[in-house]
A and B are shown apart, each in its own frame.
Chain A
Amino acid sequence: MTVESAPATTHAEPVMGTVFSFTAVPGAMPAAAVRAAIAAACRILHRCGEVFSTWDPASPVSRFRRGEAALGQMPPEFAGVLAECRAAKEASGGWFDPWAMPGGFDPTGLVKGWAAARALDELRGAGLPGALVNGGGDVAAFGSPPDGHRWRVGIRHPWRPGALACVVEADGAVATSGPYERGAHLIDPATGRPASRAASATVTGPHLAMADALATGVAVGGDEALAVVAGLDGYAAYLIRPDGSEADTGGIAFVR
């Protein structure tokens, strides 16, 4: 039982084409310091947005895609994302493959989760006892909410914007992917064409960049990709198929 019950500080930051939501547990930290930590985290997000925007033709990632910039000329963030992309491609059994995207290397399926995790690291480093960052639907958290329980994350229902399919308890990352928000943007690495064998795919685990990439993979590959995640240490997946039926790997703490 925790005695700390100061309310959480929340903040919503429009960045990277979506909105990042912050829930910071202040503990004994002064309000001004909490705000400063959130502001620093937001600066990281805006920086990631500038480096990795595939919509901005002048961004470093766009120049890299066109072959105008070599790896050595890329900002330091780029190498980190590249390493994550390699690891996620291997872990997903190839269902997530930024190198198979039309128009060249495209880390978009992982960058938002990676950026949210870095923003969360900033809050942790500032000394906050707990925080949750939601990067446009991909969630990372540490510590616990002010009431001392575990963080609870609703999984949006794929066909009802105001409804949840379920609620899960999480200590690390929860990422969800699906075709319902932005249409056929999910590309099958095997064909280079849009494909989705899931209405919604959620992956939980310790690291949000990996969970984000795996969720993209399961959204593309459906049951076959779910089986790949089942073999990964620390990661679990929950799938809603296009017909509304569900499957999961086990290992997700569903609330009732």
Chain B
Amino acid sequence: MKRAGWYVVAGAAAGFAGVLGVHGLGTAPAAALGQLKPGGPGASAAPSAPSSAPANGSAVQPGSSGPARKATGTVEQYGYGELSVAVTVHGNQITGVSVPLLRTAEPYSQQLAQQVIPMLRAEVLAVHSARIDGVSGATYTSAAYAQSIQSALDKLHVG
């Protein structure tokens, strides 16, 4: 009954950080993540580009309403370096995800991250059709809220 597995949805940079730092998390649905693990297929990736990777996945959808709005998350430490994530929204649909900042300590981490980020973006854009109006979860503190998907929704006025 694995229903949805590992959606990565909004601009919560912490989510990307979590996905990039894949060690020791969870159990069963790791299938989707196995390919992202250090030592996976990423090991033979193409040589790394400059340490800043402004890979913009923006794609305007016909029929989406309202002006495009963009929110950029804070710079997050993710264990192998730091990154920040920006999300573009048209109406109430996520139409683009980009990583305006990516800094890694070692070339291997950078190579890995650059392999992984496009996959994450594809996941986000595939999931954007699953429009959500709120996120239910264990009670967060005010500090944890700042990194939450709900916070990203509130900023973007998605609804």
Contact = CB atoms under 8 A, between A and B. Distances in A.
Interface of A: 5, 7-8, 10-12, 14, 17-19, 21, 23, 112, 132, 134, 136-139, 141, 145-147, 149, 151-167, 174-182, 200, 202, 219, 243-248, 254-256
B137 A162 contact: no
B154 A21 contact: yes
A219 B151 CA distance: 24
B136 A176 contact: yes
A164 B134 contact: no
Given A137-B135, A162-B18, A182 B7 contact: no
B46 interface: no
Nearest to A156: B137
Contacts of A177: 138-139
B18 A160 contact: yes
Nearest to A160: B18
A162 B7 CA distance: 8
A124 B27 CA distance: 43
B65 A18 contact: no
20 contacts: A17-B139, A18-B139, A19-B140, A19-B145, A136-B145, A137-B136, A152-B132, A152-B133, A154-B149, A155-B136, A161-B14, A162-B17, A162-B147, A163-B9, A163-B18, A166-B4, A182-B141, A202-B136, A246-B3, A255-B130
Nearest to B73: A162
A7 B140 contact: no
B16 to A, nearest CB: 6
A5 B65 CA distance: 10
A185 to B, nearest CB: 9
Contact of B130 (A165, A167, A248): A167
B10 interface: yes
Interface of B: 1-4, 6-10, 12-19, 25-29, 65-66, 92, 130-142, 144-145, 147-151, 153-154, 157, 159
Most A CB atoms within 10 A — which of B29, B134, B141, B144? B134
Contacts of A23: 133-134, 159
* Chain B binding surface, main DSSP class: loop
Given A153-B136, A154-B135, A7 B157 contact: yes
Most A CB atoms within 10 A — which of B17, B138, B148? B138
Contacts of A18: 139-142, 145
Nearest to A146: B159
Nearest to A203: B136
Nearest to B33: A160
B18 A164 contact: no
Contacts of A141: 133-134
B85 to A, nearest CB: 9
Contacts of A179: 138
B18 A145 contact: no
A137 B144 CA distance: 11
Contact of B154 (A12, A145, A152, A244): A12
A256 B14 CA distance: 25
Contact of A246 (B1, B18, B19): B1
Contact of A138 (B3, B16, B139, B148): B139
Given A153-B132, A165-B4, A137 B139 contact: yes
B137 A137 contact: yes
B5 to A, nearest CB: 8
Most B CB atoms within 10 A — which of A14, A137, A181? A137
B3 to A, nearest CB: 5
